[in-house]
Amino acid sequence: MTDSELSRFIATDALVCIRREAIDQRSMQAFVLAFSESHALTRYVYDFHVDGHLLLRRRDITAVECRRTDQFQRELLVEQDALDAENNRAYPKTSFLAALDSLEQDELVIVECEEPDHEVFAIGRYAGRDEHGLVRLHEFSGAGSWNSDLSSFDPDDITCCSFGGNYIRSYQRYFDRVGFPKLPRR
């Protein structure tokens, strides 16, 4: 996957198939929005629905292609008005830290470490970095209970950050309505 290929997919607004074979044997569909030397920002598509943004570590991406299936399914998305401007916010593409630092207060994010020997799925709100540069996240459970402590992640272990997807938006609406707890001290 070269810079020129990614640039072409951006210029043509192509729906593409992205493979990350060491992370997941399944491919994903997305629109590539921007990229840097180390990361690619995508608008993720799942089951014919735009499902937020994914910022992916480029070194994990093993292939990006626009197959006939992707071309046809893009046409279907256009016909169904599924490519509206909802959630079309621009996130920084240069690094996970830049993207996380750009989040609004109380904006939820999913941080994933998808390495087979170190799998982490964390959802919560970004709480900055500690004195060692570790990413801090105030996580909550699937039942909406907030952890009493902050979690810490090495930014080098992060393989994917998700912003504004359907899963996140449901929790975001809930916490916007009932309120967010005070961040734990650490």
The H or E element spanning position 52 is strand 49-57
Q: What is the pLDDT of residue 113?
A: 93
Residues 6+ apart with CB under 8 A from 107: 125, 126, 163, 172
Nearest to 42 by CA among 26, 23, 58, 59: 58
Nearest to 65 by CA among 134, 139, 145, 2: 2
Nearest to 89 by CA among 41, 135, 137, 129: 41
Q: What is the pLDDT of residue 186?
A: 62
Task: Indicate if the pLDDT at residue 86 is higher than 80.
Answer: no
- Residues 176 and 119: their CA atoms lie apart, in Å, by 29
pLDDT in tens, 150-165: 999 999 999 999 998 9
Q: Give the pLDDT mean for 114-121.
A: 86
**Residues 171/155, Cβ–Cβ less than 8 Å:** no
For the chain, give the mean pLDDT.
91
Sequence length of the chain is 186
- 87 — pLDDT class (breaks 50, 70, 90): low
